[in-house]
Structure 1
Amino acid sequence: MEIAGSAALVTGAASGLGAATAAALAARGATVYGLDLEKAVAAAGPQPDGVTLLAADVTEEAPVRAALERIDADGAELRLAVNCAGIAPGARILSRKGPHDLDLFRAVLNVNLLGTFNVLRLAAEAIARHEPDANGQRGLIVNTASIAAFEAQIGQIAYAASKAGVAGMTITAARDLAQYGIRVMTIAPGIVDTPMMAGFSEEVRAGLGASVTFPQRLAQPEEYARLVTMIAEHDYLNGETVRMDGALRMTAR
C-alpha cells in the first residue's frame, strides 16, 4: 500500500511505540491522527509535522468514532490503523497478598485486548468505505502483541492472556476482512526501550539487554515503527504475527 497521501490512525501515540510509529508514518507522507488518554495528550508536547494528537480512550466506542469522524471531516482517507495502546502491570496468580486481583486482570484485558478489538472493528469499517487500489487493497491494520503471548514470565498472567488474545485474533481478522481488501498483521515485540522501562535502573536495563540473543540490547521504538512501514509496503504480508525480539525466548524469571 502507498503510505504517502494516506491517513493513519495510531493508538498510544503520545509516547513509546505509538509516538515513534506516528512520527515514522508522518515522515513518509501520511497524515497521522494519534489517539491517547487525555492526560497523556496534554503532557506530550509539540508533535512532528503531520501528526495530530486526539484524546480518546480506546476501550470506549464514542471517542474512537469521534476521531474517525474527524478524519472524514478533514477530507482524509483512512488506510492504516496501528494499535499500540497497552498496559503491563504485574501480579502473580497467588501471592502473600492472596489471589490475583480480579479487577486488575479485567483492566489489563480491557485495555490490551478489548481496546485493540474496538479500534480494529471501527477502523475496518472506516477503511472499507474507501475505493480499493489496483490490486483490490483498501488498507491495513497492525496490532501489537508481545512475546509474552508465547512465553510470559512469572507475574505476567494478565498481560500474557491479553497479548495472546491479540495474536489469536490475527488470522481470523485477516480472513474476516479479506473481502474488503483489508490486511491484518500483528507485531510481537520483545523488550523495547519505552517509557515503561523508565523505572528500571541502568544495571537492570543492561541485564535485560544482555539476555537478548543478538543484538544484545533493548529494541528501540523506532525499530518497531520501521517494521510497521515495512509491513505496509509489503502487500503479501497478511494474517501473521511477526516477532521482533532479537531471538529472545523469555525464561520464567
Structure 2
Amino acid sequence: MSNKKLAIITGASRGIGNAISVRLAKEGYNIATLGNSTTEAAAPGLKKITDAGAEIIYVQGNLGEKDARDRLLEKALEAGNIDLLVNNASMGPRVRTDILEMSSESLDEVLNVNLVGTLLLTQAVANQMVKQVDAGQGYAPAIVNISSISAYTASVNRAEYCVAKAGVSMTTMLFAARLAEYDIPVFEIRPGIILTDMIAPVKEKYDKLIADGLTPIKRLGLPEDVANAVWVLVSGQLTYSTGQVLNIDGGFHIRRL
C-alpha cells in the first residue's frame, strides 16, 4: 500500500460507513474494512472509495466473530500503522418485537455484533495503537465510535439495538479514560435519523414526524453529515478533548417545551 495514513472502518461498503470512507479517502487515508457482503456485492461501494483516492483492504466476515476481527487486524497491520479506527458497523434485530416477547437469540445476535464485536475490535486495535505510540515517530492515532440516539432513546420494539448502543456509549468512555495517557482520543458520534437503506422503507413516516417537529432542523440527516463529523473529530484540532459525544441528529437531543 502507498505511504498514507490507514483507517479501519467497519461496514464501509454502504450507508454511513461508505460516506465516512469516501470522506477520509479524500483527506488522504487508505481504508481497511470488514463486511458481511461478498466482494462482488460490496464492489459498488468499494469503488466509490477507490475513486476518491484510497487503496482498500476488504475482509469478508462477521464483526461478532473473532476470526473475522483477527483477519481484519492482520491485514491492516500488513499495510503499516493503524492511524484511525471508526467503529461503524451494526445491525438491528431481524424482526422488531415488543420487549416483552424479545427472544434471547435476537438479543444475543445484536449484542454480539453491535457491542461485543465493537468492544473487542477496539481492544485489539487499541493495544496495537499503544505499541505504535510507544515506538514514537510522532504517531497520533484516534478512535471514533458511531453509536445512535438509540443509546438514550427507548424503542420498546427494538430493545436489543438500544441496549447495544447504550453499551457502545460506555465503551467510548472506558477507552477514552484508559487511552488518555497515550494521547489516543476516543470520540462518539450519535447519529439521528439518517437517510440510509435501513430507513428507506419507512421514510414517509420519518418525513411526517420531522415535518411535525420531531427535530428542530427539518430534514433527514445524510450519511455525509456523519462523515463530516468524523473528519472534524480526527483532523487533529481537538487536542484537549476525549470522550466527547457529538450529536448529528438535527437537534433531536434538545429538550423542548
Please report the TM-score for the alignment, with normalisation by the length of structure 2: 0.85
For residues 53-132 of structure 1, the aligned pairs below 5 Å read 53-74=58-79, 76-89=80-93, 90-94=96-100, 99-131=101-133
SS of equivalent residue, structure 1 residue 187 = strand
135 and 238 in structure 1: CA distance in 2 versus 1, 3 angstrom threshold: farther
Alignment equivalent of 2:193, drawn from 191, 194, 198? 191
SS of equivalent residue, structure 1 residue 151 = coil
Report the RMSD for the aligned CA atoms in angstroms. 2.4
93 and 155 in structure 1: CA distance in 2 versus 1, 3 angstrom threshold: same
Identity percentage of aligned residues: 31
43 and 129 in structure 1: CA distance in 2 versus 1, 3 angstrom threshold: same
Alignment equivalent of 1:163, drawn from 156, 162, 165? 165
Please report the TM-score for the alignment, with normalisation by the length of structure 1: 0.86
**2: distance between equivalents of 1:24 and 1:119?**
22
Is the contact between residue 13 and residue 34 of structure 1 (CA under 8 Å) also seen in structure 2?
Answer: yes
Residue 25 of structure 1 aligns with an amino acid whose one-letter code is L
SS of equivalent residue, structure 1 residue 44 = helix
**2: distance between equivalents of 1:135 and 1:238?**
22
**1: distance between equivalents of 2:216 and 2:131?**
43
2:34 matched residue in structure 1: 35
In the TM superposition, what is the alpha-carbon distance from 1:249 to its structure 2 partner? 4.5
1:207 matched residue in structure 2: 208
Show CA shifts across 1:50-76 (max 9, x none).
1423213211222222222222223x3
136 and 150 in structure 1: CA distance in 2 versus 1, 3 angstrom threshold: farther
Is the contact between residue 59 and residue 71 of structure 2 (CA under 8 Å) also seen in structure 1?
Answer: no
2:181 matched residue in structure 1: 179
Structure 1 spans left out of the alignment, 5+ residues: none
In the TM superposition, what is the alpha-carbon distance from 1:135 to its structure 2 partner? 11
SS of equivalent residue, structure 2 residue 92 = coil
Give the paired residue count. 241
1:139 matched residue in structure 2: 141
Is the contact between residue 145 and residue 186 of structure 1 (CA under 8 Å) also seen in structure 2?
Answer: yes
Is the contact between residue 17 and residue 89 of structure 2 (CA under 8 Å) also seen in structure 1?
Answer: yes
Residue 209 of structure 1 aligns with an amino acid whose one-letter code is I
Residue 101 of structure 1 aligns with an amino acid whose one-letter code is S
Show CA shifts across 1:179-238 (max 9, x none).
3332111111110111101222x5324224324423211100011011001000223331
Show CA shifts across 1:130-173 (max 9, x none).
24799976311111111111122231311111111111122221
**2: distance between equivalents of 1:12 and 1:108?**
15
172 and 225 in structure 1: CA distance in 2 versus 1, 3 angstrom threshold: same
Structure 2 spans left out of the alignment, 5+ residues: none
1:235 matched residue in structure 2: 239
**2: distance between equivalents of 1:219 and 1:196?**
13
Residue 244 of structure 1 aligns with an amino acid whose one-letter code is I
**2: distance between equivalents of 1:171 and 1:136?**
25
**2: distance between equivalents of 1:225 and 1:236?**
22
Residue 83 of structure 2 aligns with an amino acid whose one-letter code is R
